[in-house]
Chains A and B, each alone.
Chain A
Amino acid sequence: GQSLEQPSEVTAVEGAIVQINCTYQTSGFYGLSWYQQHDGGAPTFLSYNGLDGLEETGRFSSFLSRSDSYGYLLLQELQMKDSASYFCAVMGQAGTALIFGKGTTLSVSS
């Protein structure tokens, strides 16, 4: 089966850099995705890593190491609006549907 582990909470201050780690176990690997969800809102897609390495999208970057079954989301120049939950996700069996981690709640303070 599939399982994902990520920290439940992370706190940081405005302007800082924070890294949210995700380790996964899956029988077939199709890449690692990240989603953001603000309180009361819908999850929104942030990034996808299909191959090893770093993908950068503005202040956010995502990294994957397939050999370590590990990835992370890096948020730079943190802003108050980055306070949200962040979920990593992998494809379930036979590439059918995403399975999500339990989420990391990021709190950014001033």
Chain B
Amino acid sequence: DVKVTQSSRYLVKRTGEKVFLECVQDMDHENMFWYRQDPGLGLRLIYFSYDVKMKEKGDIPEGYSVSREKKERFSLILESASTNQTSMYLCASTQGQGLNYGYTFGSGTRLTVV
């Protein structure tokens, strides 16, 4: 089974801190994604990457950046955390477009910014 592992299940950070959310997948998937999930808003795409050192903005990239130095690892960076970035962050990976076999998601990191 493909496994997508997010390093922290819960995080509490202070406003203005630089925050790193880590995601590692173990099945050599090309494509990796970061979503945030908020009640009533569903999953919203922040950034994605289809290759090492490649990144593309999603629908809500403001306030975030990403890093993909190795194929298996995709990091989400909050440059200066703000309270409106309190959310559940979900990482996913897939091979190809991920249509027939779907995305595999990590268990999520619930970030609280105080």
Contact = CB atoms under 8 A, between A and B. Distances in A.
A83 interface: no
Interface residues of B, number: 29
Contacts of A42: 4, 90, 105-108
Contact of A97 (B58, B90, B100, B108): B58
A97 B99 contact: no
A35 B99 CA distance: 11
B105 A98 contact: no
Interface of B: 4, 31, 33, 35, 40-45, 48, 50, 56, 58-59, 90, 92, 97-108
B45 A102 contact: no
A8 B100 CA distance: 26
A71 interface: no
A87 B31 CA distance: 20
Contacts of B99: 30-31, 33, 48, 50, 91
A100 B58 CA distance: 12
B98 to A, nearest CB: 7
